[in-house]
Chains A and B, each alone.
Chain A
Amino acid sequence: MAVLKALHPIEILLVEDSPGDVRLTREALKDAKITNTLHVIEDGVLALDFLYRRSPFESAPRPDLILLDLNLPRKNGREVLAEIKSSDFLKSIPVVILTTSSAEEDILRAYNLHANCYITKPVDFNQFTTAVRTIKDFWLTIVTLPPK
């Protein structure tokens, strides 16, 4: 099973508007064992275009995992999450909310909108790296993802 998983490169969609955080996430996801391709989209409207393969994303792959920040320009993360989880086409894709807010109302709302899990970005860089790596390990090696 592990061999099969490695053969098929994992597609991860990161919806994040802070270039600093994008770079950090990219660094943290670098791993020789599991090939993964990181797609970065910076705003909520474009994220949905990517997922629905609307122009200019007609040839976009279907992501195996979505890392979603809540604070995004145009459509915010909550709205994107709501749309994904109410779409028959998209709802099976695991969505990990990865965001700065530790506010209870944000957490509750995200879970109520069926986020698969919610992670508050650690301040400490090392902890952030560990968190992202753990997300990757958990969702991409331990968890069985839905078939495409």
Chain B
Amino acid sequence: MYCLPDSSTRHVVLVVDDTVANVAVLAEHLSANGLEIIVAQNGEESVERARFAKPDLILLDIMMPGIDGFETCRRLKSYRETRDIPVIFTTALADIGDKVKAYEVGGVDYITKPFHVEEVFARVNAHLALQAMQRAMAAQNRLLQQEIAARSAAEEVLACRTKELARSNAELEQLAYVASHDLQEPLRMITSYLQLLDQRYTNRIDADATEFIAFAVDGAKRMQTLIDDLLTYSRLGSRARPLQPTSCADIVSDALLCLRAAIEDSGADVVCGDLPTVMGDERQLLQLFQNLIANAIKFGKGGAQVIRIDAEDAGSAWCLSVRDNGIGIAPEYFERIFVMFQRLHTRAKYPGTGIGLALCKRIVDHHQGRIWVESELGQGSVFKFTLPKVGD
């Protein structure tokens, strides 16, 4: 087909031949078919012209005065500007040795004279199309390289940030641990000596002083509990061990053992469904269940308390639940309760620092799970959380 690969720009062909008649015939035919022709009559001239005009293709005669076509081609291939221009040799020479040499010096084709102009055009066309494709591919490659470079850079930034984040986290955990640890000693001093004062001087101080001391001691004791909770929370990260298959049934029965006294005092009835084996950290899961069950007991609404612990297959994970028939939670607080130290009641009504659920959330996060609550005020709450299945 006589259609050019890119019809928007005219391709430029440099015709090199010392015989004017040959040039004329070719030039006429090629330009009639939409190609722009430039001409040179010898090797040196053609190299100069090519370096300047940078044609898309060169039709190169071999037998010329001065340097021959082969040498011309070698020179063309030695300059960066002309290296990639396809060279088609045209010559009367039909020797196989010459043909081979033509390819050796970097030519892409070889047309013997006398030639048919249609044949020349067809070959020129084919090579121009090839070159256009090669150029397009090179451009595409460059784009891809850029994209790869951009992505690598982004990945590096991400890796850097992740490392920085990990370091910062570790530092914070260490800080929390050290702070809590070092705060305990002076706190003990406050608590102990206030109590000593209270005991030794009961007879010598008035009721007001006794009351003041009581408030001070109470404050100090609460601070101690807060520090203990903070320590537990911060140790969660530093003490983490790799997850292992853990039986929830065993964990729950251990938790119920720990809470035996509270369960007896409240008369709560704890019912367990079939519980699965999950991938988990035994100690953390014990803490998790203990906190949730203790809460269920604590926030009962009087009367017969029933606490249900169940598990459901949630496809990619297990979904466990701790359900109670206690005082319930209003929807606007469903998120807040998982925040550290957030409480919904006064300490007088329900004791506690407000860290229990924050601890639960941290543990569930560590197990790549989710924890949430469904509840109705006055009816009860069910705390649900997901834990990884074994073999994932």
* A residues at B contact (CB < 8 Å): 18, 20-21, 24, 27, 71, 100-101, 103-104, 121, 123-126, 128
B191 at the interface (CB under 8 A from A): yes
B133 at the interface (CB under 8 A from A): no
Please indicate the chain B residues that have their CB under 8 angstroms from the CB of A101 in the complex: 181
Q: Out of A100, A121, A126, which one reaches B195, CB within 8 Å?
A: A126
Q: Which residue of chain A has the shortest Cβ distance to B194 in the bound complex?
A: A125
Asked if B188 contacts A123 (CB within 8 A), the reply is yes
Known: A20-B193, A123-B191. 18 other contacts (CB 8 A): A18-B185, A20-B188, A21-B188, A24-B192, A71-B185, A100-B181, A100-B188, A101-B181, A103-B181, A103-B235, A104-B239, A121-B188, A123-B187, A123-B224, A124-B221, A125-B191, A126-B195, A128-B192
Please indicate the chain B residues that have their CB under 8 angstroms from the CB of A21 in the complex: 188-189
| Cα(A103)–Cα(B224), bound, Å | 15
Asked if A124 contacts B181 (CB within 8 A), the reply is no
* B residues at A contact (CB < 8 Å): 181, 184-185, 187-189, 191-193, 195-196, 199, 221, 224, 235, 239
| Cα(A128)–Cα(B239), bound, Å | 28
- Nearest-Cβ distance from residue A53 to partner chain B, whole angstroms: 31
| Cα(A20)–Cα(B195), bound, Å | 13
| Cα(A71)–Cα(B193), bound, Å | 21
| Cα(A56)–Cα(B254), bound, Å | 55
Asked if A124 contacts B195 (CB within 8 A), the reply is yes
| Cα(A125)–Cα(B224), bound, Å | 13
Q: Which residue of chain B has the shortest Cβ distance to A99 in the bound complex?
A: B185
| Cα(A57)–Cα(B191), bound, Å | 35
Could you show 20 A-B contacts with beta carbons less than 8 Å apart? A18-B189, A20-B188, A20-B192, A20-B193, A21-B188, A21-B189, A100-B181, A100-B184, A100-B185, A100-B188, A101-B181, A103-B181, A104-B239, A121-B188, A123-B187, A123-B188, A123-B191, A124-B192, A125-B191, A125-B193
Asked if B192 contacts A125 (CB within 8 A), the reply is yes
Please indicate the chain B residues that have their CB under 8 angstroms from the CB of A128 in the complex: 188, 192
Please indicate the chain B residues that have their CB under 8 angstroms from the CB of A18 in the complex: 185, 189
Q: Which residue of chain A has the shortest Cβ distance to B235 in the bound complex?
A: A103
| Cα(A71)–Cα(B181), bound, Å | 11
Please indicate the chain A residues that have their CB under 8 angstroms from the CB of B191 in the complex: 123-125
| Cα(A125)–Cα(B200), bound, Å | 12
Please indicate the chain A residues that have their CB under 8 angstroms from the CB of B184 in the complex: 100, 123
Asked if A20 contacts B181 (CB within 8 A), the reply is no
| Cα(A126)–Cα(B195), bound, Å | 8
Please indicate the chain A residues that have their CB under 8 angstroms from the CB of B196 in the complex: 24, 27, 125
Please indicate the chain B residues that have their CB under 8 angstroms from the CB of A103 in the complex: 181, 235
Please indicate the chain B residues that have their CB under 8 angstroms from the CB of A27 in the complex: 196
Closest 7 pairs between A and B when the two form their complex, measured CB to CB: A125-B195, A125-B192, A20-B189, A100-B184, A123-B224, A100-B185, A123-B188
Please indicate the chain B residues that have their CB under 8 angstroms from the CB of A20 in the complex: 188-189, 192-193
| Cα(A20)–Cα(B189), bound, Å | 6
